[in-house]
Amino acid sequence: MSSTPSQPSALSHHPSEDWDLIIRPKTGWFDLHLADLWRYRDLTMLFVWRDFVAQYKQTILGPLWYLLQPLFTTLLFTLIFGRIANLPTDGLPQMLFYMAGVTSWNYFAECLNRTSATFSQNAGIFGKVYFPRLTAPLSVVISNLIKFGIQFALFLGFLVWYWFQGSPVHPSLAIALTPLLLIIMAALGLGCGIIVSSLTTKYRDLQILVGFGVQLAMYATPIIYPMSIFPNASRWILLLNPMAPIVETFRYAYLGAGEFCWPYLACSAAITAVILFIGILLFNHVEKTFMDTV
């Protein structure tokens, strides 16, 4: 009498160990898992949409503030620094000179200010589910591109209008450097922001000082004055600020005035890379224990 081989039961079946994602604890400073940022790119875009919609959701004017804010700031600078203080603008129309500086500076400042509160604002999410924590500040940098695009369109509108009026504006081929300038500004704002965010998990005073510090940094950047007012011998001190060559290059590209120098821009990019690298290392180190202090 032949016996039929018994079928293996479902309980004895062991599924394959080929997991899509294995979550391991981060053990070292350089254990960054940056590839997870690409894997969670859909989550990043959800954060981008959240940041864009939530910022002006319950306001009357909504996204119009993206236009009104730089416009009012430019008018104020024109009145105070252009008409009253009579600061030079390298022969450019004062509105265009200040708007070029405000447009480029606002993107960096917004990235820094909003990423500096990453841990405190997202503590509820960070403490519940796993995802790469860098997606939160990275989404801020991307969502601010929308705001920059609106303000940049406003600046181009004024530029075209002044150009038809015969004003001495001479856009150059350096306009092609705009994506590079945006990358440097985004990386600098992200790096500085996550450094501050990492430190504020223990030192809350930094969150209060960051807004004041950004305002001081603006006056150390050629926003309300041209770099040409400084003698050549002491100009290198101003260039220690990595935003200074970026603003000057932006003005040179679109207005034909300002100073464009590859070594200065390369120095700015190098300083930015160092700041971003330090910021990522510090952010990666703090995110493992920040729930104990936030």
Give domain status of residue 8, yes or no.
no
Domain that holds residue 149: 61-292
Give domain status of residue 89, yes or no.
yes
Give domain status of residue 226, yes or no.
yes
Give domain status of residue 103, yes or no.
yes
Task: Return the higher-pLDDT residue of 38 and 270.
Answer: 270
Give domain status of residue 15, yes or no.
no
Query: Per-residue confidence at 21, pLDDT binned at 50, 70, 90?
Result: low
**Tens-digit pLDDT profile for residues 241-251:** 999 999 999 99
H helices present in 29-171, as ranges: 35-39, 41-55, 65-77, 94-115, 118-121, 123-126, 135-164
Give domain status of residue 47, yes or no.
no
Q: What is the pLDDT of residue 190?
A: 95
Q: What is the pLDDT of residue 278?
A: 94
Are 98 and 244 within 8 A, CB to CB? no
Task: Give the pTM.
Answer: 0.84
Q: How many domains does the chain have?
A: 1
Q: Say yes or no to pLDDT of 9 above 80.
A: no
Are 253 and 85 within 8 A, CB to CB? no
Give domain status of residue 178, yes or no.
yes
Average pLDDT of the chain, as a whole number: 83
Give domain status of residue 223, yes or no.
yes
